[in-house]
Amino acid sequence: MTKIGIVGYGNLAKGVECAIAQNDDLELAAVFTRRDPASLQIRTPNVPVLKLEAAADWKEKIDVMVLCGGSATDLPEMTPQFAKDFHVVDSFDNHSKIPVHYAAVDAAASESGHVAVISVGWDPGLFSVNRLYASAILPVGKDYTFWGKGVSQGHSDAVRRLPGVVDCRQYTIPVPEALERVRNGEDPELTTREKHTRYCYVVAEDGADKAAIEQAIKTMPGYFADYDTTVEFITMEQMKRDHSGLPHGGSVIRSGVTGLDGESRQTIEYKLTLDSNPQFTGSVLAACARAVHKMAARGEKGCKTIFDITPADLSARSREDIIAHML
Amino acid sequence: MTKIGIVGYGNLAKGVECAIAQNDDLELAAVFTRRDPASLQIRTPNVPVLKLEAAADWKEKIDVMVLCGGSATDLPEMTPQFAKDFHVVDSFDNHSKIPVHYAAVDAAASESGHVAVISVGWDPGLFSVNRLYASAILPVGKDYTFWGKGVSQGHSDAVRRLPGVVDCRQYTIPVPEALERVRNGEDPELTTREKHTRYCYVVAEDGADKAAIEQAIKTMPGYFADYDTTVEFITMEQMKRDHSGLPHGGSVIRSGVTGLDGESRQTIEYKLTLDSNPQFTGSVLAACARAVHKMAARGEKGCKTIFDITPADLSARSREDIIAHML
């Protein structure tokens, strides 16, 4: 049995909580929050909700702490800090800053003798591990990653900050022709605009200048300027009725060749179609918490990534069982 | 640099040879054969072809031996035997006999202190590892494996043994409607017949009773009786012109739900589209040979499967590099 603590209680933490409930070998021990614990009603019965500062008292009662903070400011501080006292898992997803985060977490975890798995989820995470397998097997080839159709929370937030905007849901959508060309092994060179389109459902304030909002979205540098973006104004009722979920997904495709003359085209595609991005990400974190517990029991320590986890360690089933029935 | 020996020189061995040529960190040291070495012309220049019995003299000159024998009679003897003197990789693919093979190889490799990776390729192999990842992440769900469109060599051979048949190429084809229902998350119960169809291109002897051949194929127990099979008679010229390749592929799909009430449908699909089955399988074996070399260098020993290999060990790139650029 792996006793898990969750730090934070946003969408991702709730996803981890749901995943724990689906696994007989995982148990939710406690939830730690920066908010007033009395204000939180969690979904699992008979599990304490405690202040973040109380975590240190739970060192002996928690096998793995799953850190559900944000990558911008929470995890860079939180993961090295918690790695001093706990085996930890996080979903740090700022790709360009992973080496810096890795170094900080590795220093803390190596010194304290804990295992810390960072940057798990689906991208980084399952998409990364599929890029790795595919490039190891097909060294002569090209990688493509398509995201969506799905809600990009960062882009939705960026639109919400514009004057006159009450709410926004931004969908990222792969361009079907681009996906088709990659799947057909054409190895196309694709610009940002050729790979994805963006679709924004926007609720505007009464009397807002919709043309100005649309223009501000479509020209926003770093978010929309490089894409073909469609803006559709809807009512708050429509937003709540049609866009309350957080679906996402995408495909990682490796298109390569084998043979002494590169005569054989070989294509590997890994595709996710997700009704709930945070629940799926939470499920990946829960499986990784199990792996961390096993790795720690073998005496491993330091910072690890999904590249360092054997598939067997992710499974609740015994090694004998999976060799006999899943191989 | 990993110095690799290849045992055997059929289609799979040639696939391994091609894969080695695509990887700067892999080097083909020698090919060992039961045939007369002088009768073999391999594709890599300046590499010796030797009799199988000479392998023992190469213990110090080969890091990993890749065993390209058949699963029916070769590998059950060959892999334990070679594991006494070498780190080895094989592609043993008789799913139901894997535990017996594992035990025999583990006994030999553990005693001699070698690493032996068995049953790699794509099924067993990459399909297995994707089944494992997907079921660990989505414990509440169903697995589906579809094979094809591709040439099934065992089924082609079975037809070739019928009286009056000169040659046959048998294609296994997933039923598009079944695939679609699984991808749509309908979780259907599918019979063998509902999942795949079989298509046989047959070259018959002059004057053969084609109706009798067709009947014999369609009713063959264990091979065709449970499927809707189409038989098409063609000429040897058509066979050579249109069916000389060994394409294959397929999809592993996990369709599951998350959420406290199972309210979110989550689908994971891993799909291979292969122009050349043996070259792709050979590429997987080559990547595993690299991993074996790394595992052996760390002092690991005994029988391993793809479930026991960290993704990082499969890659030619350094851990720092893949964490910085592939995560």
When pLDDT is averaged across residues B176-197 and rounded to a whole number, the result is 96
Contact A273 B269 (CB under 8 A): yes
The model scores a pTM over 0.80? yes
Instruction: Provide the CA A270 distance to its chain's centre, in angstroms.
Output: 16
What pLDDT score was predicted for residue A179? 97
What pLDDT score was predicted for residue B158? 94
Dihedral (Cα; A251, A16, A27, A127), 10-degree rounding: 20
Contact A284 B308 (CB under 8 A): no
Tokens of A158: 């960026």
Task: Tell me if the bond preceding B124 is cis, omega within 30° of 0.
Answer: yes
**Tens digit of pLDDT for each residue in A44-95?**
999 999 999 999 999 999 999 999 999 999 999 999 999 999 999 999 999 9
CA A207 to chain B, closest CA, distance in angstroms equals 37
**ipTM metric:** 0.96
Q: Which residue has the tokens 């391993």?
A: B304
Run of H or E including B52:
none
Q: What does DSSP say about strands A26-33 and A49-51: parallel, antiparallel, or unpaired?
A: parallel
B 175-194 near A (Cβ less than 8 A):
183, 185
Q: Which residue of A has its CA nearest to B15?
A: A259
Tokens of A149: 């159709």
Tokens of A241: 């009725």
Residues of chain A found within 8 Å of residue B19, distances taken between Cβ atoms: 258
CA A324 to chain B, closest CA, distance in angstroms equals 6
Is B85 in the A-facing interface, judged by CB distances under 8 Å? no
Quote the crossing angle between the two packed helices B98-112 and B74-82, to the nearest 10°: 20
CA B26 to chain A, closest CA, distance in angstroms equals 12
Is A18 in the B-facing interface, judged by CB distances under 8 Å? yes
Q: What percent of chain B has pLDDT over 90?
A: 98
Q: Which residue has the tokens 């004998």?
A: A320
Band of pLDDT at residue A117, cut at 50, 70 and 90: very high
Is residue A286 helix, strand or coil?
helix
> Distance of CA B194 to CAs A53, A166, B231, Å?
57, 50, 18
Band of pLDDT at residue B166, cut at 50, 70 and 90: very high
The domain locations on chain B are 2-123+278-326, 137-275
Contact A327 B309 (CB under 8 A): no
Listed in sequence order, the residues at least 6 apart from B240 whose beta carbon sits closer than 8 Å to its beta carbon are: none
What pLDDT score was predicted for residue A235? 98
Listed in sequence order, the residues at least 6 apart from B279 whose beta carbon sits closer than 8 Å to its beta carbon are: A258, A259, A264, A266, B14, B15, B18, B19
Strand order, beta sheet including B228-233: B150-151, B165-174, B196-204, B228-233
What pLDDT score was predicted for residue B13? 98
Output the DSSP codes for A135-185.
HHH-SSEEEEEEE-SEE-HHHHHHHHTSTTEEEEEEEEEE-HHHHHHHHTT
Phi–psi pair at B151, nearest 5 degrees: -85, 125
When pLDDT is averaged across residues A199-222 and rounded to a whole number, the result is 97
Phi–psi pair at A52, nearest 5 degrees: -50, -40
| Rounded distance between C-alpha atoms, residue B285 and residue A124, angstroms | 26
Phi–psi pair at B53, nearest 5 degrees: -65, -20
Q: Considering only the top CATH level, what class is A2-123+278-326?
A: alpha beta
Phi–psi pair at B60, nearest 5 degrees: -85, -10
Residues of chain B found within 8 Å of residue A294, distances taken between Cβ atoms: none
| Rounded distance between C-alpha atoms, residue B27 and residue B2, angstroms | 6
Is residue B258 helix, strand or coil?
strand
Band of pLDDT at residue B16, cut at 50, 70 and 90: very high
Contact A280 B266 (CB under 8 A): yes
Tell me if B164 sits within 8 A of B205, measured CB to CB.
yes
| Rounded distance between C-alpha atoms, residue B229 and residue B220, angstroms | 11
**Tens digit of pLDDT for each residue in B247-283?**
999 999 999 999 999 999 999 999 999 999 999 999 9
Is A79 in the B-facing interface, judged by CB distances under 8 Å? no
Band of pLDDT at residue A288, cut at 50, 70 and 90: very high
Listed in sequence order, the residues at least 6 apart from B238 whose beta carbon sits closer than 8 Å to its beta carbon are: B201
**pLDDT, mean over chain B:** 97
**Tens digit of pLDDT for each residue in A148-192?**
999 998 899 999 999 999 999 999 999 999 999 999 999 999 999
Q: Considering only the top CATH level, what class is B137-275?
A: alpha beta
What pLDDT score was predicted for residue B258? 98
Contact B119 A310 (CB under 8 A): no
Q: Which residue of A has its CA nearest to B270?
A: A270
Tell me if A293 sits within 8 A of A27, measured CB to CB.
no
